[in-house]
Homo-oligomer: A and B are copies of this chain.
Amino acid sequence: MAPSRFDAALQDAALRMETTFAHALSEAHPLLSGAPERLLAAMRHGALGGGKRLRPFLVEASAALFGAEAAHAAPVGAALECIHCYSLVHDDLPAMDDDDLRRGQPTVHRAFDEATAILAGDALLTLAFGLVAEAEAIEPAARLRLVALLSREAGAAGMAGGQALDLEAERQALDEPAIRRMQAMKTGALIAFAAESGAILAGAPEADRARLRRFGEIVGLAFQLADDLLDETADAATLGKATAKDAARGKKTLPALHGQDWTRAELERLVAEAEALLASYGDKAETLKAAARFVAFRDR
């Protein structure tokens, strides 16, 4: 798939996800009816109106590979985006990364207050599991599997654990294996879940599920490498958030350890590996392959 066609597909999916997501975060949603207005507003501030919506895109593309409709994948994508966005809201808090700006907007604790940001994050995380449990187009057994897997990948053994390791890295520099472990948990776990969950919700056989998971792990690795590279090379206006922060805090990244040339070569290698994994699916896997390439070589 040509990059421009992929960009259009990604933006199209992001627009559709925005609609699904805005509904999931409205007072009209049965999981939220009666919620306080200000808390809902903070949740929406942290979750709507921005982001590439890459994770829901991967869920949808992975589900499509096994014949499931986009509408069936949408609640899982929305759940994943709830969790991604909650993690940003909490990571931005003064006690964590202390960021004022996210996607070019004030962070939730800046636009509201710190306590509200903590609660909005909590409520987004809590909502995610309800969205999956109520995704009635998905078989009950698959939904339960998705809830359990999401709990693992977002929790102490996954994303939250990775963030804890990242905080420890501010106190003592990590060596390369420790950096890789931290990143596999902090960023990789949810991206791997995105790719795997499409196969699960579509009822794909175990071998396909495992292959999509591995694909997701590689894409997650590429995502983080590209992110670290952008942190070194891009400017804040393009990214809509502060840059060069890792170096300023003495946090080691793989680009910092090995240099930008190594990083670009490693990204090529990872994309080739991801594409090879999906070779047996032929043209049907074009969207996922293009996604891997986009993740590795994006400029934002």
A residues neighboring B (CB under 8 Å): 30-36, 38-40, 43, 86, 90, 93, 95-96, 113-116, 118-119, 121-123, 125-134, 140-141, 143-145, 147-148, 150-152, 154-157, 160-161, 163-165, 167-168, 185
| The one of B34, B151, B185 that contacts A129, using a Cβ cutoff of 8 Å | B151
Q: Are A116 and B147 in contact (CB under 8 A)?
A: no
Number of copies: 2
Question: A119 CA to B164 CA in the complex, in Å?
Answer: 7
23 contacting pairs across A/B (C-beta < 8 A): A31-B151, A32-B152, A35-B155, A36-B164, A36-B168, A90-B119, A93-B115, A93-B118, A95-B118, A119-B160, A119-B163, A119-B167, A121-B122, A122-B155, A123-B156, A123-B160, A127-B151, A129-B129, A129-B150, A130-B155, A131-B151, A134-B148, A140-B144
The interface residues of chain A, by DSSP majority, are classed as helix
Measured between C-beta atoms, what is the minimum distance from A169 to chain B in Å? 11
User: Which residues of chain B are near A157, meaning CB under 8 Å?
Assistant: 31-35
User: Which residues of chain B are near A115, meaning CB under 8 Å?
Assistant: 93, 95-96, 167
Question: A90 CA to B264 CA in the complex, in Å?
Answer: 41
Question: A55 CA to B284 CA in the complex, in Å?
Answer: 50
Closest residue of chain B to A130 (Cβ to Cβ) is B151
Question: A71 CA to B243 CA in the complex, in Å?
Answer: 51
Question: A93 CA to B168 CA in the complex, in Å?
Answer: 20
Q: Are B93 and A148 in contact (CB under 8 A)?
A: no
Q: Are B156 and A32 in contact (CB under 8 A)?
A: yes
| The one of B114, B144, B156 that contacts A40, using a Cβ cutoff of 8 Å | B156
